[in-house]
């Protein structure tokens, strides 16, 4: 969680008034290391957007073409790790086909059990 800029400026203003880092940290109930980092850089660090995966479109086509293949078979075709295929499938919301509960055969009652 990042704190808003106005809150950071308020804390740094308290430091400029002459209060210690420890006293300000206790007053606002934040870690003193956080205040030290804010003194170095007041603006919020931005994260870079993640590059889109090259595997996604090809993997979606591969799943349509070979719906029953295992992840290790797909990984061999794509030349990547099995975990990469698993992560991409999770990102695409593609799950393993599951049998409905009602498909199991029910045990037939035999006359000897009566």
CA distance linking residue 36 with residue 22, whole number of Å:
10
CA distance linking residue 72 with residue 105, whole number of Å:
31
Residue 77 lies in a domain: yes
Residue 71 lies in a domain: yes
Residue 77 has pLDDT above 80, yes or no: yes
Q: Which domain holds residue 73?
A: 55-91
Asked whether 37 and 52 are in contact (CB, 8 A), the reply is no
Residue 62 lies in a domain: yes
Residue 21: per-residue pLDDT: 92
Residue 102 has pLDDT above 70, yes or no: no
Residue 108 lies in a domain: no
- Domain count of the chain? 2
Q: Diameter of the chain by CA atoms?
A: 92
Residue 102 lies in a domain: no
Question: How many other CB atoms sit within 10 Å of the CB of residue 55?
Answer: 19
- pLDDT bucket at 24, cuts 50 / 70 / 90: very high
SS3 40: helix
Domain co-membership, 61 together with 85 = yes
């Amino acid at each position: 969680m990042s704190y808003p800029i106005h809150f950071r400026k308020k804390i740094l203003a308290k430091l400029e008034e002459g209060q210690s880092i420890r006293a300000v940290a206790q007053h606002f109930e934040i870690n003193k290391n956080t205040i030290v980092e804010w003194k170095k850089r007041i603006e919020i660090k931005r994260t870079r957007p993640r590059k889109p995966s090259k595997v996604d479109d090809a993997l979606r086509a591969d799943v349509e073409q070979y719906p029953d293949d295992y992840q290790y078979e797909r990984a061999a075709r794509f030349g990547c790790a099995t975990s990469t295929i698993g992560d991409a499938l999770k990102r695409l919301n593609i799950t393993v086909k599951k049998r409905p509960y009602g498909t199991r055969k029910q045990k037939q009652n035999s006359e000897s059990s009566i």
